Amino acid sequence: MPAAKKQGLQTLVFQNPPVIVAAGTVVGGKEAQGPLGKTFDLAIDDPYCGEKSWEHAERRMLEDAAKTALKKAGLGTQGIDFFLAGDLENQILASSFAARSLGIPHLGLFGACSTFYEGLIIGAVLIDGGFAEKVLVAASSHCCTAEKQFRFPTEQGVQRSLAQSWTVTGAGAVILASQGAGPVITHATVGKVIDLGQSDPTNFGAVMAPAAADTIVRHFQDTGRPPEFYDLVVTGDLGIYGRELAQGLIGDHGYRVEGRYTDCGILIYDHDTQDTHAGGSGCACSAVVTGGYLLQQLQAGKLQRFLGVGTGALLNVDSPKQGETIPGIGHGVVIERR
């Protein structure tokens, strides 16, 4: 017997769609100077945020994003049932430390850069399932902690690959509630891990595009909705070249998203002046663009409904060296104006 709230193979349909009652976004200097600069709540220019390490700074940003969301919703930490969060540090430590200081029951998540969307899905499930009234979902990344962990020391003199993306420094948090005013989450499509044999850790767009395309196509098939049903389809951090690849792959499945498909990693930076190469990436990329710009577009009535797809590249520092290919994942969430 199929599950009562599931449609098709991978899509969840929420009976009482959870409401996004508030969002908080914190970004670094480069993001604040980008085209979406004004849509963020807080910008901190100093990569250390006045703390003693980048790791401390990332944790601070995550806490600040969560506190901003709480403040906007007029809630204290006691009013929240669960804190779902993840990041890119080893063993998602930024989230654990933020959870320590917030003191809210915590589930740590890892979906690489798709973590924020993974959190939205699990949060919505907890609420629609009746296990929670209010859930705080957050994710963070920091360009220096990510570079340090996955690539080279930041002051190392290397030429970045042209297809490489720039890890967004920042954190995004949203509060999901069973009732209230704000946009609602109506559907979610949980992605499969997809691997089309890419192995270049400097080109995540090509790595993740097949997973994003698979989830988007699966969503259309499961729901029977055509792409035109959405004002916008937006992936997490595929960047300029990854977006083109994903668009091509979606076309190969017989769906056309041209003209209504973009990517958070393209939106967040100015490609011509900010020297980010392919665009933005990292957990915070989809978190701050969704929590800031996209939700504001819904609230302003410029968008009625969008399909957001958080995308993640699944690797660690050693796996490419051991000859492994890099699989990707994409999680889709439908957010509607109400």
Q: Would you tell me which residues interact with another protein (CB under 8 A)?
A: 52-53, 148, 152-163, 196-198, 203, 206, 210, 241, 244-245, 248-249, 251-253
Residue 188 or residue 245: which is nearer to another protein going by CB? 245
Smallest gap from residue 160 Cβ to another protein (A): 8
Question: Are the beta carbons of 189 and 7 closer than 8 angstroms?
Answer: no
Smallest gap from residue 10 Cβ to another protein (A): 16
- Per the DSSP assignment, residues forming a β-bridge with 233 are 261, 307
Smallest gap from residue 206 Cβ to another protein (A): 5
Residue 210 or residue 291: which is nearer to another protein going by CB? 210
Give dist(CA 316, CA 118) in Å, integer: 19
What 3-state DSSP class applies to 57?
helix
Residue 50 or residue 157: which is nearer to another protein going by CB? 157
Residue 54 or residue 83: which is nearer to another protein going by CB? 54
DSSP designation for 191: P
Residue 16 or residue 161: which is nearer to another protein going by CB? 161
Smallest gap from residue 285 Cβ to another protein (A): 19
| 74 burial level (CB within 10 Å; 0-12, 13-18, 19+) | exposed
Smallest gap from residue 260 Cβ to another protein (A): 20
Residue 203 or residue 297: which is nearer to another protein going by CB? 203
DSSP assignment of 124-183, as one string? HHHHHTTS-SEEEEEEEE-HHHHHHHHS--TTS--PPPTT--EEPPEEEEEEEESSSSS-
> What are the tokens at 44?
């901190």
Question: Residue 18: how many CB atoms within 10 A of its CB?
Answer: 27
Smallest gap from residue 116 Cβ to another protein (A): 26
